Amino acid sequence: INDYRFSTKQYTIRRRSNFERSRVLVLADNQNESTRFRRVLARAQHYYRASNGPDFILHAGDAVQTARKLGDWQSQLFSPLEDVGGYQHHAPLVFAPGNHDHDKRRTQNNYNFYMDMYHGLNKTDELGRPAVTNGSYHRFHHSISIGSARVIVLDAECPSEEQSAFLLHELQSDAFQKAHFRIIAVHVPPYIEYWDPYAWNDKGEKYWDKHVRLEYDPLFRKYRVDLVISGHQHNYQRATVHRSTDPGSADAITYAIVGGAGGDLDLKQVEDWHMYNVTYLGHHFATLDIEDRRLSWTVRSITGSVVDKFLIEV
């Protein structure tokens, strides 16, 4: 046995300066549909091939169908990433967990090893720990700087006093306020328009976004967040809302729903918030390019056509 040796290929990750372009592949809601997810990734690979990207992957949740099944993580997330582009070797994954990615009802015998490890519970005796008394988990919320942008990642499924305190502290921090671009990633969007009507009205799922809309979104607007990225709703929508009453003002917050990485599409409208500029009822991926004082956003369909694009310059 001592004569056997095993090694893996070594990969490198380059962290770019604020003055270089940092490219982020943005997607969500591929769960249980690995074939479609591979098609989305293949289109992204075709687009990125000449430009050597992305530098990061921002996944806005629901990467798997059943979180406690480790096989789902392999077949529905890691294998497609490996087989179509090998992105996970070069692009760190920034992950905002969705309702399918963990189980709030977890007990001592209901483990979720992957999510525990991703969120920093790396000691053996901490893996599979039960939920804390208020029903939330530890360390799902976090923040990261990508180029000249600061990104706050929230867990929409487990609101807690701990997460609320973290959010307020981070919004007020120099790292966030002095960033050229201020971004939030949270799986459940504050404003949902498309869903299954029965689940929405009769099963109470219309209330899932309430705390994001009523507690978090006023803070997003107060502290001048530029972009809120979500999934959950399986299609694409984008709204740019001006904070100022002056229609010529550039001071605005943009909400983008990118739930089109493979899951069955939401085609029936259940609400109308009278705010969305773009709606696309198809599978897609988004590219977020951050370069010094310039942020560009482009959404492409599974066939490669441009669905939406916008530019923010400061």
Domain ranges of the chain: 22-313
According to DSSP, the residues that pair with 94 across neighbouring strands are: 58
Three-state secondary structure call for residue 255: strand
Q: What is the pLDDT along the chain (314 residues), one digit of tens a residue?
A: 456 666 777 777 778 888 899 999 999 999 989 999 999 999 999 988 766 779 999 999 999 988 777 788 889 998 999 888 778 788 889 999 898 887 655 444 445 555 665 554 444 454 445 444 444 445 678 899 999 999 999 988 878 888 899 999 999 999 999 999 999 999 999 999 999 999 999 999 999 999 999 999 999 999 999 999 999 999 999 999 987 666 666 689 999 999 999 999 999 999 999 999 999 999 999 999 999 999 999 999 999 999 999 999 99
CB-count exposure of residue 181 (10 Å: 0-12, 13-18, 19+): buried
Kindly report the CATH class assigned to 22-313: alpha beta
Count the Cβ atoms, other than its own, within 10 Å of residue 91.
21
CB-count exposure of residue 98 (10 Å: 0-12, 13-18, 19+): buried
d(CA 293, CA 18): 9
Cα distances from 206 to residues 65, 99, 110, 195, 312, in angstroms, run 20, 14, 27, 9, 32
